[in-house]
Amino acid sequence: MNGTPWWRDRRVLPWLLQAVVGLAVLVLVALLMTNLVRNLSAAGLLLSWRWLGQPAGFDLSETLLPFNASMPYGRALLAGLLNTLRVIVIALLGSSLLGALVGMAAFSRNGLLRGLARVYVEVVRNVPLLLQLLFWYFLVFLALPDGRAALQLPGLVLAKSGLYLAGFAGGSWQGPQLLNGSWQAPLQLSVEFGALLTGLITYIGAFIAEVVRGGIASVPRGQWEAAGSLGLHGVATLRHIVLPQALRVIVPGLTNQYISLAKASSLALACGFTDLYSVAETTLNQTGRAVEVVLVLLAAYLAIDLLISAAMNGLNRLVQVRER
């Protein structure tokens, strides 16, 4: 009609391209799914969730939920998920605190402190997390002495058998005590948990330190000087002038780091801590239900990521300075 052949028509071409790509993806997915169904039915493993109710037959070393080997797989996975959440929450708080301190240390007047903060960040960020977790578990926590020789700090005892913290027990404050050669305390953590936490906090803390440093550096120097000439001292300047402005830059960066923390917690396996992933792997080895186990894993981590994103987006709205 207008003389343009269809293969050069700009109204047709984009849709043609999309149709081709869409068709290719559809064919690929259909092929994969056919294979999946054929191979799974050949192995007698067609999708089913009944195994979740069968007794697990393995024990978990530390759980928030009471758990023993006669309880079902579903409960084992739930216990693993709770362990993962526990690690994420504590490591999130710890790494934020460490990151904030180190990030602010980058602006100290003290050259030595600045240098140390720099060295910490550069060393930790360039060594794989897995290696660091193995280091903390095998070389630090498992090398701790036990019994009377254990490392004793005020309110905290570090021993090979576990970490013992002071806390409220029976209405009164109690520190760790040595009873018959073994430590007792209101709060006890396993060395596996301690190693995982230490590793995650130091690793993510270094990244958060960079986020905080970048945020503070993004506040123009004139803001510090103006606050100083108004008579505010250092801490007050930071608290009232600089941090509110820096937070606008810091919070989006923090969101990324928190999500990568949640994903990094899946390396708990390396220090023998039973998180969701390690329970899932044991479950797979016992039941052979690879597809279902992976679906559970993906759904759980996706939910955690979305939860963190949603919470941080809320925080982000709070810290955005409303300009006219």
Partner 1 sequence: MGTPSFPAKRLPVAALLPLKRLRAQLAPTVADGLLSLGLLALIAWAAVQLGGWAIGRADWAVLQLNSMLLLVGRYPLAEQWRLWLLGALLAAQAGLSWGLLRAWPRADRREQGQLWPRHDRIAAVLITLLALLLPAALGLAGALQGRWWLLAAVLLALRWAAGRWGPGLHRRTLKLLGLLWPLLYLLGFWLIGGGLGLAAVAPGEWGGLLLTLVMASFAMALSFPLGVLLALGRRSNLPLLRWGSVAYIEFIRGAPLITLLFIGQNILGFLLPASISPDRVWRAAWVLTLFAAAYLAEAVRSGLAAVPRGQLEAARSLGLNQAQALVTVVIPQALRVALPTMVGQFIALVQDTTLLSLIGLLDLLGMARGIMANPEFLGHSSELYLVLAVLYWSCCAALGLGSRALERRLDPRSLAGRP
Using CB under 8 A as the binding rule, the residues of this chain from 35 to 54 that contact partner 1 are 35-36, 39-40, 43
CB 266, CB 308: distance < 8 Å: no
**For the chain, how far is it from start to end, CA to CA, in angstroms?**
55
User: Bridge-partner residues for 173, per DSSP?
Assistant: 168
Give the number of residues in contact with partner 1, rule: CB under 8 A. 61
Element (H, E) at 63: none
Question: How far apart, in whole angstroms, are the C-alpha atoms of residue 320 and residue 249?
Answer: 9
Q: Which of 222, 19, 210, 242 is nearest to 105 (CA)?
A: 210
Using the minimum distance from each CB to partner 1, give the nearer residue, 60 or 296.
Answer: 296
With binding defined as CB under 8 A, does residue 281 bind partner 1? yes
Compute the least distance from the CB of residue 176 to partner 1, in Å: 26
With binding defined as CB under 8 A, does residue 153 bind partner 1? no
Burial environment of residue 10 by CB neighbours within 10 A (0 to 12, 13 to 18, 19 or more): exposed
Compute the least distance from the CB of residue 301 to partner 1, in Å: 6
Compute the least distance from the CB of residue 165 to partner 1, in Å: 24
Compute the least distance from the CB of residue 54 to partner 1, in Å: 20
Using the minimum distance from each CB to partner 1, give the nearer residue, 140 or 319.
Answer: 140
With binding defined as CB under 8 A, does residue 294 bind partner 1? yes
For residue 8, what are the CA distances in angstroms to 1, 17, 18, 19, 88?
14, 12, 15, 16, 54
With binding defined as CB under 8 A, does residue 111 bind partner 1? yes
CB 265, CB 84: distance < 8 Å: yes
For residue 74, what are the CA distances in angstroms to 40, 55, 79, 283?
22, 9, 9, 10
Q: Specify the stretch interacting with partner 1 by CB under 8 A; choose among 53-61, 73-81, 87-95, 108-116.
A: 108-116
Using CB under 8 A as the binding rule, the residues of this chain from 130 to 149 that contact partner 1 are 130-131, 134-135, 138-139
Binding site for partner 1 (CB under 8 A): 14, 17-18, 21-22, 25, 32, 35-36, 39-40, 43, 104, 107-114, 116, 122-123, 125-131, 134-135, 138-139, 216, 221, 224, 228, 233-235, 238, 263-264, 266-267, 269-270, 277, 281, 284, 290-291, 294, 297-298, 301-302, 305-306
